[in-house]
Amino acid sequence: MSAPVCAFTRESKVLFKHCDPAELVFFPRFFEMMNDLVEEFFDAIGYPFEEFHHQGAIPTVQIEAGFPKPSRHGDRLCFSLWVERIGGTSATLRILTQSGGETRMTYRATIVLVGEDGRPKAWPDALRQAMMPYMESEDA
């Protein structure tokens, strides 16, 4: 039996700046929101993004997204993030965005830790351990 899954969550209101003239979230703004959430996740586990960017970076190398229902100006969105997989130099994150119990966006991204030379490098053990409580299953 696997351990309970812990999600990193945050709520946010859809602001005017996120919307197109029809007051719907313009889909590229969701990608900005997802990047903000990932950055907040790393802050929360004790590894601020800005520290990585002094020694390299954590670029996103692949994204899958779905938008089953539109979000509108004023909606309250709940973002939940899980670590789906941690590899040697990459990790896959899954994010579910909901409002009023309805799924508004699904997001899966693969990120890679790179050094100053721009080449992938191994996740430090302490960072890997900090991400483990957010793993979706024990056998991932």
Q: Per the domain annotation, does 1 fall within a domain? A: no
Res 16 pLDDT > 80: yes
CATH code assigned at 105? 3.10.129.10
Q: Which of 26, 83, 80, 35 is nearest to 60 (CA)?
A: 35
- How buried is 47 (Cβ within 10 angstroms: 0-12 exposed, 13-18 middle, 19+ buried)? middle
pTM, full prediction:
0.89
pLDDT per position as a tens digit, 42-85: 999 999 988 877 778 889 999 999 999 999 999 999 999 999 99
Give residue 104's domain range. 8-16+23-134
Q: Per the domain annotation, does 58 fall within a domain? A: yes
Q: Residue 15's pLDDT is what?
A: 96
pLDDT per position as a tens digit, 102-124: 999 999 999 999 998 989 999 99
Q: Per the domain annotation, does 139 fall within a domain? A: no
Residue found under tokens 């997204």: 65
Q: Per the domain annotation, does 80 fall within a domain? A: yes
Domains held by the chain: number: 1
What are 18's two structure tokens?
């996120």
Q: Per the domain annotation, does 3 fall within a domain? A: no
Q: Per the domain annotation, does 2 fall within a domain? A: no
Q: Which residues contact 122 (CB under 8 A, 6 or more apart)?
A: 88, 89, 113
Q: Per the domain annotation, does 61 fall within a domain? A: yes
- How buried is 14 (Cβ within 10 angstroms: 0-12 exposed, 13-18 middle, 19+ buried)? buried
